[in-house]
Structures are given as C-alpha cells and as structure tokens.
Structure 1
Amino acid sequence: MSARRTDLSRRGFLTGSLLVTAGSILTTACSTDPTGGSAAGSKTTLNVWYHAYGEPGTQQAVLRYATAFTKANPDIAVKVTWVPGDYTGKLNATLLTAAAPDVFEIGDFSESLARRGQIAALDDVYAGTRSDFNTNAVESVGVDGKLYGVKMIDDVMMLYYRKSVLAKAGITPPTTFDGLVAAAKSLTTKKNKGLFIGNDGLGDTPGLAVFSNGGDLVTPDGKVEFGSARALEAVTGLKRLHDDKSLLLGFTTDWWDPAAFTQGVVPMQWCGLWAMPAITAALGDDFGVVPWPAFKAGGAPVVRVGGWTACVNAKGKNVAAAKRFVQWLWVEQAELQKDFAESYGFHVPPRTSVAATAKKLSAGPAKETVGLAQKYGKHYPGTWDTAVSSTFAAAAAKITGGQGEPAALLADAVKKAQGEIDKQRGR
C-alpha cells in the first residue's frame, strides 16, 4: 500500500518484535522497541523495521524471509519489528536514538534523510542490477547522483471505470481532461456522482494535473515549480469538476478503498492496483483502467507510482550486515520479491525482469497497469514532505473552491514551500 494511506487503512495488527535466528523465530515482548541481544551462534543481530501492513500474511512472510536470510548468512540474526499506527512518526523519533533500527522501510522517499547522513548510499548493493530496476524506482531514491534505497514494491495508482456503465451512456474512456470532465458530468445523476477522487474532492489530482500539463512540482535541484504557468492552468482547471458537482464527496471510505466503485456509487474512481483483486471479485471483467488524462495537447497522461523502499541506517553499528540483508532480499531473491508483490495485496516488483515473470501481472487490467506505470509513471519528488505537500494542497483546495485568486494563492504557496525545501537542504 502507498505510504500516504497508512494512517487511514492499517487495521488491527499486533505489535511486536520478533527475533529470527538460524533455525527458529523467537518472539520478544509486545513492543515496538527494536533493541535486543544477538542470537547464539550469530556475530551480529540486525534490527529490521516494517510498518504494519494491512494485508493478511505479510507479517508471516517477512519473518519467513528473515529466517531464509539467516540460514544463508548464519553470522547474522534478524530481529523483525512490526510497527502499528503512526509508523513514520515512530521511525523518525527512534532514528534520533541509540535504539534506531539497522534496516527500515519508508514510503514516499524523503531525500532529507540522505542529506542529514541518516541513511547510507546503496549503489554498491545494486551490484550491476541497477538497469533492471524501472526508471521510477531508481530516480525516486536518487540524491546528488547516489542511490539511498532499494525499492521493495511499486504501488501504482490509476483511474478505474465501469465498462458497462460508460458503454450504456455512449461514453468512451476519457483520454483528455476535457473528456474526463464531460464524462463525469454526463454520468452524474440525482442518485450518483460520476467520479470519486477523494473525500476532500482533491486526493492526488493537484499533482496529477500539474504533471499532465507538462509541469513539475519541484525540480531535482530543489526549486519549487508548482507555481508555473502550466501548473496554474492545470490546477485551476480542476475547478470545473467541482463547479459541475460531479465529484463524490464524503463517502464512508476514502479513494484508496474501492467500495464506492464496487458498490456502484460511482462509475469512475481514482484508486490503486492494490484494489484490483477486490474489484475483480465484485465486478468480474466489467472494469477497465486508464491513466489520468493529459490536460491538453502537449501534456501527457499520468499514473502515480508510490510504494515502499528499504533503507540502511548509516549511523548504525551494523552497516555492512544491513547492506547485505537489503541486497540479499531486495536485489538477489527474485522469487521472494514476486511473493511479496503478488501474495499479500497486489503490487508491482520494481525490477523489470521480476515484474515480467509475475503471473498475476501477466494478463488483463493488471498487465495494462504495469504498462501504464512503465510509460506514464510519476513519483513525488524526494523533497515532497508533509510541510511542502500540505502547503500545495491547501492552495489547490482554495482554488477549486473558488476562495481566492488562483495565481496569488499558488505564488504564496510556492514561497512557503520553497522556504521549507531550503530548510531541508540547509540553505
């Protein structure tokens, strides 16, 4: 699941630290404290953190992977810590202490961790496989020419539509923003809305709008770009969906859950690949997927690619062993990478060779989604932390709600966001 959904969607999983030795799994007290002693026969014990995935079986899977790693590397025991709730907050706090994990996963990559010297460069971990990772997976973890993480799974987000509903209305799947606005309006009735992009009426769409008009959010050198003419035009264009009252607002679950789509409340919804098994179970083959459409000629369709990335604590005592763990699991073990992507939820392996052999991604809408990600995938920049993204989102909300002059609102947001990014970069 995408990192930006974890606070909303993680459900009822047990907390705990689990120590994996060469031949067994030892469960410690229920705690998110990753500290612990080395196992007998092992020279090193790695503390490895995961957020509490909502997909059943994931916790057992990572324990199984840890056991297999220790069997192949008897000198290194692995202690798995399963962290529920506010994973990012707990991780950031613990990284400032002696209890910091050796290996940990993060959602949408934050380059500030690299700039603070908190995470280690992992170029050597790729060991010649860098070209086998898709472009997004490599670009999203790059800082000043070095790679500071290994992508574990790609979460792809795109637009779902009901084939039968659109066909009955004589509407083709939208390939332009004008077409999307028209379709959403035509499909809106007294009982139903035409499109669901989030309970706030925005979701990912401000960023998608900018990308789809050939704009950028933040440049690689840290310059805020979401106030450009292209960005202004596209974000302002989103107001049309609000003015037409064609958006579903305030549903019982948010955009990351497919319930509004599967229950027939809307015929089009922005959601993720993770929802495809549930959608297939409910609707059979009566659905299709398309990217967020190009804003106009000269723009390009967009799908968002998020996911989770493995990082190594550069300040830890076991950097070499931690790198070995990341390399073994997320670079060398193709079968385990497929298992993690396909068996617990539905994700895309970041390595192109592994994705190509994933059976569940080899046909139908799933295969189409992989192709869309390869062709149109975009990730948020590494500087896109909460302070920066919330500033942009607040301006977009006012613009689409008609609460001010769009250019002035974006200009003010750019100024605030630039200040935050300058802080990140120590400027």
Structure 2
Amino acid sequence: MTAGSLPTRRSFLGASLLFVAGAAVGCSSNPQEAASAKGAKVTLTQWYHQYGEEGTQAAVKRYAAAFTKAHPDIAINIVWGPDTSQYETKLNAALLGDDAPDVFELGDFRAEMARKGQLAPLDDLYSSAKDSFNPADIDYLTVDGKLYGMKTIDDVMMLYYRKSMLDKAGQEPPQTFDELVDTARKLTSGDTKGLFIGNDGIGDAPYLLAWSAGGELVMDDKVVYAAADAARAVGGLRQLHTDKSVLLGFTTDWYDAGAFTQGATAMQWCGLWALPTIEKQLGDDFGVVPWPAYGTSGKPVARLGGWTQAVNAKSKHMGEAKTYLKWLWIQQSDIQIDWAVKYGFHVPPQMKVAARTPELSKGAAKTAVEISTKYGRSFPTTWTQAMQAGFIGAAADIAKGADAEKALKKAQSQAQSDLDKQLG
C-alpha cells in the first residue's frame, strides 16, 4: 500500500470520516460474477468499496466462488463500488430503495444505522466464536446489547521509534506522556524533530490524549470529552508545540512513513500498514509502542480502524446472507489471513487467526498485534464528522494557547446538540 493510494483499506479511520480522496466512479457489477452457480436458487449481492491495492477485486471474486462451490444453491454477485469518498453516499441511497445489497461493507460503523433498522443483528453468527475476536471490535460493533457487524480487518495505529536515535540520546521508548514530551525534546536536533503526529501538529493526538488519561469521547447519550482529566490531557498538545519538538508540514502526512524513514523525525504516529516499508528501509532499527499513558491513573492506548461487513436487515435472503458472512469471516481462517496480509498489511480481527498469521508472528509486527489486542480503541459509534470537526478545532486552538477546558466545553456543547438530534 502506498501513500498515493489513500484512502484504501487503511481508511480505517473510519473510512469516510477522516479522508476524502480520488475521483468517484459509479457502482458496477458483472452479471458473470454470479453465473458460476448454474441452477443456484438464491443470488446474494455483496458490495465492496473500491480498494486501491492490486489484487483485491480478484480476491473477493475468488472467495465468493469458493463459497458457492461449497454451497451450490447460493450464488454471489460482487458489486465493486466507488472509492471511499463516494461509497457511503451510494450505500445510504441504496439502503432506502428496493435494490439494496444483501451484504455490504461499512467503513464507519454507526449505531444510528442499527437503531434505524438497517442492519441485521448477528449475535447468532458469532455464537462461541465471539470470544475469539478482539474485544475492542466487539465493543465497537455492539449497539444496545446486540452485535450488528463483523470486522474483516483491523488497522492498528501506534507509535514508531528509531532505536538508534533513542540510544544515542540515552532514552528509552516513552511509557508516559511526560516521558514522551521529554524524549521528543531531547531528540529534536538540526533537521530532525522528536515527534511527528501529523502535518498540522494535531493528527490523532486529541483522541489519544483523552483516552490515555482514562477519558471518553461519548458515554451513552452524553458527550464527555471536556471532563477535567481529559481536558488536562488534551492540553498537553500545547506543551509539545511550545517545545517545538513536533514536526510540521512534511511532504507526506502521518499515515505515510516517509518522515520516519527519511530521518525527519525520531518518533512517528503511524499504522501497521507502513511496517513492511519501514522494515525494508530501516531493517531492525525501529520499534513500536502504544501511545503512552497520561498521568498516574492513565493507560496506554492504540487506535483501531478497519472495515466491517454487515447484513441488510431487509434482505429477502437473510438466512443465506448470514450463512455467507459466517463462512467467510468466522470459518475460513485462510481467507481471513489472505485478505489481511496479501493486499496490504493488517490484522485479522479473530485473535486466534492473527496468532497463526506468519507475517505477524515475529518482531515489531507481533508487538503490534499485542498492542492492538491489549490497548486498541475505536471511535464511538455515535461519533460524526461534525463532532470530529469541533473536537479537532478546539484541540488546534489549545495547541496555540487557548484554555483547554473552556475550548473543549464550547465544542462539547455543540457536539451534544448533534448527538441529541441523532438519538432523536
């Protein structure tokens, strides 16, 4: 996966929420996709967004053909949709009509879709396999006590550090935010900055700081990120900027490893997808850790993104759709491994499958899997673009010197109004 292909499966973040890129293309399907099952009694339509990685479309056709071979009565019609920026719009429109897909991808899983009756509950599919999934994914996909989606890949985001640079400065990988600040300051020298979190100097840091202080963004029907501990932690952005230890305005943003591999920064917040490139260019001169804990009561944190598949609650072939989803994403571990690491670099959501993925069994990749399981967090399912814009805007003001609690309370008030409207 290359920086130029963003957003693709790393759109993780979730997909439409944080990135918009590329030209829109119309949804298209090939009638021959389903023709391999002559005499099939049911044809399911499955929607994918347009992945940028070479081989993805051929892979999903291959998976569908394998399913039909095992279930001759069920054919699968693959619809290869538009890119991330347009996919959700197309999907939302389709779900209001008569030609909605039976099975489809979601980049941003939202509780609102479940509560509107658009998504079928999938608890019966998980059954005893539920405990094998990353707990953070289970929490993410649970709405009012029921599971409404199934993760297909986990994209874990974490902190990369250059071993040689830290060793030269006599520093250990930071375990607390104070250590992160101190290490970033000591590693800033000449053309190298200590830390890169994004070209705006903000990136994911506001979320990470709030979570690492033990705070939340949303709890039930309340937006809570302006609570004292979280506000104090987000205020830590000001300290990083005052020290001028944060790299700003690099040629590529945080989701690309260029700043790290080129020596422009000693530490960088980035995703697992970048690890093969980093390893190729730096060998073993790097390591990964979660975002460090803030304060004595805080805890380390990593962010999880990735794509989810769901079943249309109004599908005329509900039983067949669930059979397909269970076969593909619970029972076929070889397919899950193939999808995770052969067209990019991701983690299979089932922990037992991740554990037997050769590419994730050693070194920094193995550490990343452990980080995702132990410290992974996802955005709340009620989190919206408007909430994000207000939160990030407040964080940017804080980095420039605004009072953290005051700025966050103002943004939180508007976010609460948005949440109230959403909950109806």
SS at match of 1:195: strand
Q: 2 CA distance for matches of 1:90 and 1:76?
A: 25
Q: 1 CA distance for matches of 2:88 and 2:264?
A: 33
Q: 2 CA distance for matches of 1:305 and 1:279?
A: 20
* Amino acid aligned to 1:90: K
Q: Structure 1 vs Structure 2: percent identity of aligned residues?
A: 54
Superposition deviation, residue 264 in structure 1: 1.6
* Amino acid aligned to 2:307: W
Quote the residue 1:360 is aligned against: 359
* Amino acid aligned to 1:17: S
Q: 2 CA distance for matches of 1:194 and 1:114?
A: 43
* More off after superposition, 315-324 vs 206-215: 315-324
* More off after superposition, 1-10 vs 135-144: 1-10
Quote the residue 1:289 is aligned against: 288
- Residues 22 and 71 in structure 1, CA contact (< 8 A), matched pair in contact too: no
Quote the residue 2:316 is aligned against: 317
Superposition deviation, residue 128 in structure 1: 2.2
Cα deviation, 1:19-58, whole Å, max 9, x if unaligned, reads: 565774xxxxxxxxxxxxxx74122222211122222222
Superposition deviation, residue 11 in structure 1: 6.8
For 1:77-92, what aligned pairs fall within 5 Å after superposition? 77-85=75-83, 86=85, 87-92=87-92
Superposition deviation, residue 97 in structure 1: 2.4
For 1:28-427, what aligned pairs fall within 5 Å after superposition? 40-85=38-83, 86=85, 87-219=87-219, 221-402=220-401, 404-426=402-424
SS at match of 1:188: coil
Superposition deviation, residue 6 in structure 1: 5.0
Cα deviation, 1:206-258, whole Å, max 9, x if unaligned, reads: 01001111111111x22111010111100111111111122122222211111
SS at match of 2:154: strand
Change (3 A) 1:143 1:6: closer
SS at match of 2:153: strand
SS at match of 1:129: helix
SS at match of 1:47: strand
Q: Which runs of 5+ in 1 are unaligned?
A: 25-38
Cα deviation, 1:321-346, whole Å, max 9, x if unaligned, reads: 22121111011111111111121111
- Residues 291 and 302 in structure 2, CA contact (< 8 A), matched pair in contact too: yes
- Residues 76 and 321 in structure 1, CA contact (< 8 A), matched pair in contact too: yes
Q: 2 CA distance for matches of 1:160 and 1:384?
A: 27
Q: 2 CA distance for matches of 1:159 and 1:20?
A: 45
Superposition deviation, residue 318 in structure 1: 2.4
Q: 2 CA distance for matches of 1:99 and 1:190?
A: 59
* Amino acid aligned to 2:287: G
Cα deviation, 1:240-285, whole Å, max 9, x if unaligned, reads: 1111122122222211111111122211110011111111111111
- Residues 11 and 54 in structure 1, CA contact (< 8 A), matched pair in contact too: no
- Residues 164 and 286 in structure 1, CA contact (< 8 A), matched pair in contact too: yes
TM-score by length of 1: 0.91
Superposition deviation, residue 149 in structure 1: 0.5
SS at match of 1:295: coil
- Residues 21 and 70 in structure 1, CA contact (< 8 A), matched pair in contact too: no
SS at match of 2:381: coil
Q: 2 CA distance for matches of 1:178 and 1:385?
A: 31
* More off after superposition, 327-336 vs 5-14: 5-14
* More off after superposition, 310-319 vs 354-363: 310-319
- Residues 13 and 54 in structure 1, CA contact (< 8 A), matched pair in contact too: no
Quote the residue 2:5 is aligned against: none
Change (3 A) 1:13 1:224: closer
Superposition deviation, residue 315 in structure 1: 2.0
TM-score by length of 2: 0.92
SS at match of 1:46: strand
Superposition deviation, residue 16 in structure 1: 3.7
Q: 1 CA distance for matches of 2:89 and 2:247?
A: 31
Q: Which runs of 5+ in 2 are unaligned?
A: 1-9
Q: 2 CA distance for matches of 1:332 and 1:340?
A: 14
SS at match of 1:202: coil
* More off after superposition, 133-142 vs 11-20: 11-20
Q: 2 CA distance for matches of 1:20 and 1:240?
A: 59
Q: 1 CA distance for matches of 2:58 and 2:23?
A: 15
SS at match of 1:45: strand
Query: Between Structure 1 and Structure 2, how many residues are aligned?
Result: 410
- Residues 46 and 79 in structure 1, CA contact (< 8 A), matched pair in contact too: yes
Q: 2 CA distance for matches of 1:373 and 1:116?
A: 31
Change (3 A) 1:20 1:126: farther
Superposition deviation, residue 100 in structure 1: 2.0
RMSD: 2.0
